Chains A and B, each alone.
Chain A
């Protein structure tokens, strides 16, 4: 009997960290900046005792490995360091700025919305802005209303911003490499509840292009589109529906901008049914936009009205009971799919 090597496992923090190391080793223009990205490591005058690597430890070890010139702790001043990231990108660097929680964008939207996303367009293409904003998002950690939002729909709404949301460690690694090498502003959303989930490790050099969705599970009856953590919700629902003889195709959007509408349409044309499951705020969102675009392009090919399983239109609540009631669940997806087929 042949020996089957157990495939190496890693979590999403490993995937992102490996991509950062690979990018920083191959390109000296890549720098990392943010709050506590090197924090805990003292100063250059003091002994390095081990950097935190941000509150989730994603950049741990980078300060020791690449030095303080390339791994920069910033003041707790998102407006200044996000503006500085934009200025550095215009100046030829490839900054990777960490916005600790996406909910904090409220204090630094101007550098993103009025500077980074517009400078190339307004200047007639004089410069490019190759920068990445890494940010933690999502509910599930009882982090309450100011540390649990998703908000990628807000950024997808802004012309000139690319939006990436990985659902597994290997994709996170490959998408992060593409995001750093991309010549535009990319906001990279990391779901807090996925940081510690293991998955198959990727090879060094693994690249996932921006703008390509992935079919996470094939099926002929219903297309379930998810993004980030809700891909897992879709897969869980698809598993239980298969027991009932319903074959769902689960599409992982992976990047919201660029949007792989053709990839989604290919699946919808196969199944004739679309259900979007998402955890961002439910109004004027990626989910509503996707349903609208599919209807506009493939209305005649739909066998049922498209469905959306979304949270109620309230902020993410605090305690485990309320938070669980807020989140879209596989059970709800299963019910809605069965209704679509009824």
Chain B
């Protein structure tokens, strides 16, 4: 167990990560509704505990693959919110030069091997990245974020099997928010514990309360530790909930049952209350953290809004690394 001082410091770091994601996506959602952002976008509001807890278990050299709902993964891992915001705005200062948009943030320097518009694609990519890491004698670990819906996808199962048979340093993190897009869990799978999928591939599968970010951190640290020690892949299922619809604009008339473990439990409120009531942290200190984060996101928004659109001249750039002759 962590000592008390370290414990509080870790919790405050987790709270800051979650608040950063919350504020970032709240601003994206608000300005998407105003028509400022092209295309479409998917919020993870309510799921911040999973992104923050897992990313806090990672080292800078570690990597992750993400999903269509992955802003929190990128920012949680340490991507610059200003450059991610500019990318979502389609601007030239975006982390991909404004060529990728909300669903396809790539930030390789930060180990973000890509959000992905294709469900199930992350697992195979992660296996390869892990294989390459092993070849260069790195002990880096690769996390595969996926939703509950992706656990039905054949590509996910193939990747889990490959990771297991090659004993790769991969952690499959299932963010189970009870809905595959708009289809409830019971309509897309018959098993109740998605972590049980791990048994089919001979790897550990653990379920954790995704609204308890400290529990997520501890469980993720166990899985990451196994991977780093060469003990192979794991599955970590986090039960969570998303506040918004599948995409921004989805009126979300569907709800989770009261019995769903994450219902009515906000990961930020829970940790904030624990810090105030159990750890004796002064409220103004947390409010200061929050004010700094709000200012950081306001600055990110200003940066994105003021960045130019990419010039039409770059349309043909970066198709090939070795140019066509």
Contacts and interface: CB of A to CB of B under 8 A. Distances in A.
A232 interface: no
A126 B324 contact: no
A124 interface: yes
B104 A122 contact: yes
B124 A84 contact: yes
B99 to A, nearest CB: 5
B192 to A, nearest CB: 26
Contacts of A130: 321
Interface stretch (B32-40, B112-120, B221-229): B112-120
Contacts of A8: none
B123 interface: yes
Nearest to A212: B325
A111 B121 contact: yes
Interface string A137-174: 00000000000000000000001101000000000000
B165 A123 contact: no
B158 to A, nearest CB: 3
Interface string A111-137: 100110001111111111110000000
A75 B161 contact: yes
Contacts of B133: 91
Contacts of A88: 128-129, 131-132, 135
Contacts of A228: none
Contacts of A159: 319
A27 interface: no
Given A92-B136, A123-B106, A184-B320, A84 B128 contact: yes
Nearest to B160: A80
Contacts of A114: 117-118, 121
B250 to A, nearest CB: 23
A288 interface: no
A184 B322 contact: yes
A183 interface: yes
Contacts of B94: 124
A57 interface: no
A120 B321 contact: yes
Contact of B320 (A79, A91, A120): A120
Nearest to B320: A184
B132 A79 contact: no
A83 B108 contact: no
B124 A126 contact: no
A129 B74 CA distance: 22
A160 B106 contact: no
Interface in B105-164: 106-109, 113-114, 116-118, 120-121, 123-133, 135-136, 154-155, 158-159, 161-162
Given A79-B158, A182-B322, A184-B321, A122 B127 contact: no
Contact of A124 (B100, B127, B154): B100
A306 interface: no
Contacts of B319: 120-121, 159-160
Contacts of B118: 110, 114-115
A127 B155 CA distance: 23
A184 B320 CA distance: 6
A89 interface: yes
B318 A120 contact: yes
A122 B123 CA distance: 19
Contacts of A69: 135
A16 to B, nearest CB: 21
A327 interface: no
Interface of A: 29, 31, 69, 72, 74-75, 77, 79-93, 95, 110-111, 114-115, 119-130, 159-160, 162, 182-184, 209-211, 257-258
17 contacts: A75-B158, A80-B123, A85-B128, A86-B125, A88-B132, A91-B136, A93-B135, A95-B128, A110-B120, A110-B155, A115-B118, A115-B125, A123-B96, A123-B99, A125-B321, A183-B322, A184-B322
